[in-house]
Copies of this chain bind each other. A is one copy, B any other.
Amino acid sequence: MRDEGLSYAAAGVDIEAYERVLERIKPLIAATHGKEVAVGVGPFAGLYALPGGGHLAASADGVGTKIKVAIAAGSHRGIGKDIVNHCVNDIATAGARPLFFLDYFATGKLDPEAFAQVVDGMTEACREAGCALLGGETAEMPGMYALGDYDLAGFIVGLVDPGAHPDPSAIRAGDAIVGLPSSGLHTNGYSLVRKVFEDVPLTKVFPELGRPLGEELLEPHRSYLEPLGKMRWKAAAHITGGGILGNLPRCLPEGLGARLQRKSWTEPPIFRLVRKRGRISDDEMLGTFNMGLGMIVVVDGKDVPPEARVIGEVVRHAGPDRVVVS
């Protein structure tokens, strides 16, 4: 959410307070940018021009309070996959293939088992993405983290071949909007989800989920590297914090919006359960969660693959809500 081509994301932050401080720091950040920094190519990744041609795409991410669920369940491998795939997807929106990944693992006192599980998950996701785990930092900070707690940040660098990156400026009213299915909640909305299920043991099997709640909540964030690589597309939005309503507009040029048909895709059971138990409005659901669509892609009508799920179209933007769901 540190926006405007700065690819500064914010998870669970009080948006209003954050926007005030953004106004203060934006000129400071802009003053560090030389001509190598490409802006306006989409806010999910930062782009830096290499001397020899092409761009590097980079992103920093966390996994938010999903970590708290992993700690409660004693299951950390998925968190490792989450952080890598979150990063992979961010730079994939810039058309980048990952080169390498680094992590920051901070804790009060190192739990070797939890840490090894996280690394196991990270390395598996790195291998799947063809990405090297190039380094990282492991920090013990007693007094900062409570016993058993840890935090995890990831940092990825990818390469965008010359001329290969997507072109949001080519987006026109009438272009198709395609939704790619998510594997579950991915890594966003967990502060709300943890509140909704605060009195429910992670072992409980809700009939509609068909497996323990903990397993459902810890389902790893899916990587969209492969499906994006197979399609011809103009822009893509990684549906993370802020949900569909918060992220889809970020990949659209000014003056254009999106109209989505709510019935064009099926909300997976976990979202229906969260909505029902939390008595959450449709707007809040759409502004918090991926709702079953972890990546949303803008595609020229003629390039829509036969098997794609078209969920709406680009429209001329007419009003404050740039995404209308009907």
- A residues within 8 Å of B by Cβ? 1-2, 6-14, 17-18, 20-21, 24-25, 28-29, 31-34, 36-37, 45-46, 48, 50-54, 56, 58-62, 64-65, 67-68, 99-100, 102-104, 106, 109-110, 112, 115-116, 119-120, 123, 126-127, 130-145, 149, 151, 153, 155, 157, 159, 191
Q: Is the Cβ of B136 less than 8 Å from the Cβ of A60?
A: yes
Contact with A11, one of B14, B60, B61, B139 (Cβ below 8 angstroms): B139
Known A11-B139, A29-B119, A134-B37; contact A102-B17, beta-carbon cutoff 8 A: no
**Residue of B with least CB distance to A191:** B142
A187 to chain B, nearest CB (A): 11
* A20→B51 CA distance, assembly (Å): 42
Copies in the complex: 2
Q: Is the Cβ of B110 less than 8 Å from the Cβ of A14?
A: yes
* A37→B133 CA distance, assembly (Å): 9
A31 to chain B, nearest CB (A): 6
Q: Is the Cβ of A153 less than 8 Å from the Cβ of B37?
A: no
* A130→B138 CA distance, assembly (Å): 27
A9 to chain B, nearest CB (A): 5
**Residue of B with least CB distance to A115:** B21
Chain B residues with CB under 8 A of A20 = 112
* A193→B314 CA distance, assembly (Å): 58
A73 to chain B, nearest CB (A): 16
Q: Is the Cβ of A48 less than 8 Å from the Cβ of B134?
A: yes
A26 to chain B, nearest CB (A): 10
Q: Is the Cβ of A135 less than 8 Å from the Cβ of B102?
A: no
Known A135-B58, A151-B151; contact A65-B143, beta-carbon cutoff 8 A: yes
Q: Is the Cβ of A60 less than 8 Å from the Cβ of B135?
A: yes
**Residue of B with least CB distance to A54:** B52
A300 to chain B, nearest CB (A): 29
Q: Is the Cβ of B12 less than 8 Å from the Cβ of A58?
A: no
Contact with A140, one of B11, B60, B130, B131 (Cβ below 8 angstroms): B11
Chain B residues with CB under 8 A of A31 = 123, 127
Q: Is the Cβ of B127 less than 8 Å from the Cβ of A7?
A: no
Q: Is the Cβ of B59 less than 8 Å from the Cβ of A135?
A: yes
Chain B residues with CB under 8 A of A153 = 104, 106, 137, 153
Contact with A137, one of B28, B61, B120, B140 (Cβ below 8 angstroms): B61
Chain B residues with CB under 8 A of A24 = 112, 116
Q: Is the Cβ of A59 less than 8 Å from the Cβ of B102?
A: yes
Residue of A58, A123, A191 with most chain B CB atoms under a 10 A cut-off: A58
Q: Is the Cβ of A135 less than 8 Å from the Cβ of B7?
A: yes
Chain B residues with CB under 8 A of A2 = 135-136, 138
